[in-house]
Amino acid sequence: MLQKYSFYWVAKALLSHYWRHPWQTLFLLVGLSAGVGLWSSVQIINRHAQTSYSQANTLLGAQANYWIRSRAQQGIAQQTYIDLRRAGFRQVYPVVETEVSTGQGDPISIIATDLFALPVELFENYGNDSAPGSPSDWLAFIQPPYRSWVPQQLAKELDLKAGGALLLRDGRKLPLALIQSRPGQGRQILMDIGAVFALTNEPRFSYLAVGTISPAKLRRLESFLGDDMELVENQQHLDLAQLTQSLHTHLTAMSLLSFAVGLFIVFNAVRFSLWYRRETILNLRLMGVGVPVLSAAILLETLLWSVIGTALGLLLGIQLAQFLLPGLSASLHSLFNASLSGIIELEIDSVIKAWLITLFGLAWALAWPLYQQLKTDVLPASSTGVAIDSERRARRILTLGAAILVLVAAFLYPRIDNATNGFILLGLLLFAAAWTLPLILAGSLRLIALFLPAHSLFGRWLLSDGWSQMPALRTAIMALLLAMTANLGVGTLIDSFRGAFIGWLEIRQSADIYIRGTNIDLQQLLNSEDSSDWLADSHLRIGVTSRWRDRPTLIRGADTRAPDSLSFPLAQWLGDSSADALALWRTQPGSILANEQTHYLAGLMLGENVQLETDDGLRDYRVVGFFYDYGNPYFQFYLPFDEVAKRWKYAYSRGLALWLKPPSNDVDNPMQRAEDEIRKSGAQAGDWIRQAEIRQLSVKIFDRTFAITSAMNGLTLIVAGIALLASLLAILQERLPQFALWRALGVRYDEQLLVMACPLFIFVSVAWLLAIPLGALLSWILIHKLNIVSFGWSMPMRWQMAPAWELGMLVIAVVIFTLLLTVIQLRRRLPEALARLGTLT
């Protein structure tokens, strides 16, 4: 009873601190919620994506257990479908998937089906009355003039209102929009089969999907299908999980970094709450409160903060996830053809995970130091001396720790074979750098002491003040170093990648027009009468999809004489030059080009043989070169056209590239002329795309893919800025009596600013100078190790100084801002501080 009562007072005494110091409370909350928020947003997104991949059964097309596809990728004729249904295969339903571009050039995908053909379990999702939308909605859906069901998020992005019709790039319009999404619809626009046929003028299905079916019936189905069709098992969600794993690991790593930086703020806030409560704790102990009661109170405080931090962090995380998701799901769609739904749900295990990690962070940043404080002597020691000594000791311990981290990292370096490993290595290096920082800061102060005139009292004062600020600033500068390093490193990665990608696009997509429609007589187009007037060159490609080493794989047949084949950008080659290797590929039968991914992800080597499954059995091809293939998660091989046509009966057209002649007397606008000819050969609008458009599209997809990375990068820097601000303000609190004394001694504000600012600028500059090589190292590892083991793409690193300068400016701005804030605060609180000079506190 007495115990309980005293516990109440102890807890009250300890917690009242936060009430009296709202700024510190605010910073603690900001640190916690920013850290937890950034971390949990990515957790929520990853979780959401993984659920979407595994919940294939809610996706219209992907829910199927099997797909019936045309081997030649020509789609399925309506008659085939009717025949199947008549033969009693009621599990079979048709799907059309197609890509169109909006007026603004945004790619959007359309999925269409026949609602009445859906198996019961799906019909419940799409056509049932209990699903969102009334029966009249779906009656309108299946009857001309039809409706398009547009997911809310997508409608918002496209600025499409209910009842509006989306205008496409080529002038066509989609049926009137109904804004609502069905489970698993993702970012796809859902339409009736009839609507999409009317739109594309091409009455063929992309594939037929097969719902739950008995093995016996499946065998019957297989024998029923013609030779030109195949029944394939749906492995999409397995593939997706595998292909996207690295991407999600990357995101997780970024979020962990943000969390760590957020924790630095907490650590800082706690440092000062400790400083303020030293007296309280001391008094409580002098009054005979035992360590167990105090510990219990600290535990209570930790729990309290963890609950508040988790709640606020998750709120922020959900907001952030909602903000980041559209970009990510768009890029997942364009890269992996994966659909994420736009609605985020918070699952209980995410909450528990967030709470646990918060608790862990708080235990490290709050409970442990507070407990240490408890255990120290009851009588106060002379603080400055102890502080200087313990700072020296802390520096030594941290440096030792850093050395150990570096050793572990060196041990790990040759063993990096996946993204997780790689990020552990990066984490080790980053923390090693952060832990060495105090030593380097101390060294830089010593160095500066050498250059200051020894007899200058002002110089000595300035330096000694720098020393005294060090313990308080240390953590903030560490957080700053981490954030700056990550910012430069990741920035360089994105920049290098963008540069490599755009350069590569320029070479790869050198043709003026790309035709990809399947219902065009390409041969006729090429052989048309006076095509030589406007056509300089062309490249007809074919391909087959297959699996190699357990990954979806594309085998392409290319015209070895086409302009883009002659300048194929190779990353590695047999022989002296890439031209030699290309010549080998052209002339020597059995030579093959493989994308880099096969090398880095599947271990294929130059000169090695790949075994591919052809129509007449396994065949060996010798790898003579690896080509860059950015953004492709799949394996890809290039063989000469004739080889593919000969070995794979069902190789289908992968499109035609056209190079136009410059304007001449005969043809003053070759582009116009070419498009007329293409139209004449039966192409629909949207079947072809100009070079400028396809490049724009590719770059857009690229930028969207990295939007989330850039956002996380920027946010982490902001959090570090707050950490710096928080610790500077807290230092001010701690040092107010000092500053008051300076005032009393006649020190002017400008002199005081100089003394306060010099060490700060030195520290920040040292951190900045360190961040530059560290950032370069980080990006080097990201580009040459992590990117390669995760995605299989190699690229040259492009280091630039401009971002580093920008970062420096930004940090200086933060420092100046906080200094000004400090002086304003000092002016306001000087009397209070002076009062403390006069009395025993």
Partner 1 sequence: MLSIRKLTRSFAQAEGSLRVLDQLDFDMGMGSSVALLGESGSGKSTLLHLIAGLDTPDSGDIEILGQNLTGLNDSALADMRRTQVSLVFQQFHLIPTLNVADNIQFQAALCGRLDAAFETRLVGRLGLQSQLKKYPHQLSRGQQQRVAIARSLLHKPPLVLADEPTGNLDEQSSLEVMSLFSELVKNAGSSLLMVTHSREMAAFMDRSVLLHNGRLSEIDDVAKV
DSSP string, 576-640: SSHHHHHHHHHHSTTEEEEEHHHHHHH---TT-EEEEEETTEEEEEEEEEEE--TT--SEEEEEE
Q: Which long-range contacts (CB under 8 A, 24 or more apart) does 327-332 make?
A: 327/704, 327/707, 327/708, 328/45, 328/49, 328/707, 328/708, 329/49, 329/186, 329/187, 330/187, 330/701, 330/704, 331/701, 331/704, 331/705, 331/707, 332/49, 332/244, 332/247
Residues whose CB is less than 8 angstroms from the CB of residue 495 and which lie 6 or more positions away in sequence, other chains included:
798, 800, 803
Collapse the DSSP code of 514 into the 3-class scheme (helix H, G, I; strand E, B; otherwise coil) and give the result.
strand
831 binds Mg ion (CB under 5 A): no
Pick 662 or 831: Cβ nearer ligand ATP = 831
Whole-angstrom Cα distance, residue 410 to residue 407? 5
Pick 26 or 835: Cβ nearer ligand ATP = 835
Indicate the DSSP class of residue 364: I
**Size, binding site for ligand ATP by CB under 6 A:** 5
Report which residue's Cβ sits closest to Mg ion.
838
CB of 741 to Mg ion, least distance (A): 15
Indicate the DSSP class of residue 363: I
Pick 215 or 838: Cβ nearer Mg ion = 838
Helix/strand/coil (H, E, C) string of 131-167? CCCCHHHHHHHHCCCCCEEECHHHHHHHCCCCCCCCE
Whole-angstrom Cα distance, residue 301 to residue 294? 10
453 binds Mg ion (CB under 5 A): no
The span of 46-54, 215-223, 759-767, 827-835 binding ligand ATP (CB under 6 A) equals 827-835
The span of 8-16, 68-76, 399-407, 833-841 binding ligand ATP (CB under 6 A) equals 833-841
CB of 825 to Mg ion, least distance (A): 23
Pick 170 or 832: Cβ nearer ligand ATP = 832
Q: Which does 79 bind (CB under 5 to 8 A by kind): partner 1, ligand ATP, Mg ion, none?
A: none
Q: How many CB atoms lie within 10 A of CB 459?
A: 16
Tokens of 789: 């083991």
Collapse the DSSP code of 129 into the 3-class scheme (helix H, G, I; strand E, B; otherwise coil) and give the result.
coil
Whole-angstrom Cα distance, residue 560 to residue 568? 10
Contact 675, 688 (CB under 8 A): yes
CB of 739 to Mg ion, least distance (A): 19
CB of 753 to ligand ATP, least distance (A): 24
CB of 467 to Mg ion, least distance (A): 32
The span of 135-143, 370-378, 522-530, 830-838 binding ligand ATP (CB under 6 A) equals 830-838
CB of 832 to ligand ATP, least distance (A): 5
Whole-angstrom Cα distance, residue 841 to residue 837? 9
836 binds ligand ATP (CB under 6 A): no
Contact 625, 611 (CB under 8 A): no
841 binds ligand ATP (CB under 6 A): no
CB of 270 to partner 1, least distance (A): 23
Q: Which does 832 bind (CB under 5 to 8 A by kind): partner 1, Mg ion, ligand ATP, none?
A: ligand ATP
Whole-angstrom Cα distance, residue 97 to residue 50? 22
Backbone angles phi, psi at 730, to 5 degrees: -70, -40
Pick 214 or 839: Cβ nearer ligand ATP = 839
Q: Which does 33 bind (CB under 5 to 8 A by kind): ligand ATP, Mg ion, partner 1, none?
A: none
Pick 839 or 841: Cβ nearer ligand ATP = 839
CB of 805 to partner 1, least distance (A): 33
Pick 642 or 832: Cβ nearer ligand ATP = 832
CB of 436 to ligand ATP, least distance (A): 44
Pick 639 or 740: Cβ nearer partner 1 = 740
Q: What's the length of the chain?
A: 841
CB of 741 to ligand ATP, least distance (A): 16
Residue type, 608: E
835 binds ligand ATP (CB under 6 A): yes
Pick 159 or 832: Cβ nearer ligand ATP = 832
CB of 16 to partner 1, least distance (A): 18
Pick 570 or 736: Cβ nearer Mg ion = 736
288 binds ligand ATP (CB under 6 A): no
831 binds ligand ATP (CB under 6 A): yes
Indicate the DSSP class of residue 684: P
Pick 139 or 835: Cβ nearer ligand ATP = 835
Whole-angstrom Cα distance, residue 782 to residue 576? 29
Q: Which does 745 bind (CB under 5 to 8 A by kind): ligand ATP, Mg ion, partner 1, none?
A: partner 1
Pick 447 or 744: Cβ nearer Mg ion = 744
Distances (CA, A) of 19 to 23, 128, 836: 9, 55, 21
Collapse the DSSP code of 650 into the 3-class scheme (helix H, G, I; strand E, B; otherwise coil) and give the result.
coil
Collapse the DSSP code of 665 into the 3-class scheme (helix H, G, I; strand E, B; otherwise coil) and give the result.
coil
CB of 830 to ligand ATP, least distance (A): 9
Rg value, the chain, Cα: 33
CB of 840 to Mg ion, least distance (A): 11
Pick 30 or 833: Cβ nearer Mg ion = 833
The span of 90-98, 274-282, 742-750, 829-837 binding ligand ATP (CB under 6 A) equals 829-837
CB of 271 to partner 1, least distance (A): 18
Figure out which of the listed residues 232, 692, 832, 836 binds ligand ATP, where binding follows CB under 6 A: 832
Pick 2 or 457: Cβ nearer partner 1 = 457
Q: Which does 1 bind (CB under 5 to 8 A by kind): ligand ATP, Mg ion, partner 1, none?
A: none
Figure out which of the listed residues 607, 838, 840, 841 binds ligand ATP, where binding follows CB under 6 A: 838
CB of 831 to ligand ATP, least distance (A): 4
Pick 746 or 831: Cβ nearer ligand ATP = 831
CB of 841 to ligand ATP, least distance (A): 12
Residue ranges in contact with partner 1 by CB under 8 A = 382-385, 457-458, 460-461, 464-465, 467-468, 737-738, 740-750, 830-831, 834-840
The span of 225-233, 312-320, 515-523, 828-836 binding ligand ATP (CB under 6 A) equals 828-836
Pick 173 or 836: Cβ nearer partner 1 = 836
Whole-angstrom Cα distance, residue 805 to residue 802? 5
Collapse the DSSP code of 545 into the 3-class scheme (helix H, G, I; strand E, B; otherwise coil) and give the result.
strand
Contact 490, 782 (CB under 8 A): yes
Pick 391 or 512: Cβ nearer partner 1 = 391
Backbone angles phi, psi at 126, to 5 degrees: -105, -35
Contact 643, 619 (CB under 8 A): no
Distances (CA, A) of 166 to 136, 156, 174: 22, 12, 5
828 binds ligand ATP (CB under 6 A): no
Figure out which of the listed residues 457, 746, 838, 841 binds Mg ion, where binding follows CB under 5 A: 838
Greatest alpha-carbon pair distance for the chain in Å reads 105
The span of 377-385, 527-535, 721-729, 832-840 binding ligand ATP (CB under 6 A) equals 832-840
Residue given tokens 């024998």 in the structure block:
223
Backbone angles phi, psi at 838, to 5 degrees: -85, -25
Contact positions toward Mg ion, by CB under 5 A? 838
Contact positions toward ligand ATP, by CB under 6 A? 831-832, 835, 838-839
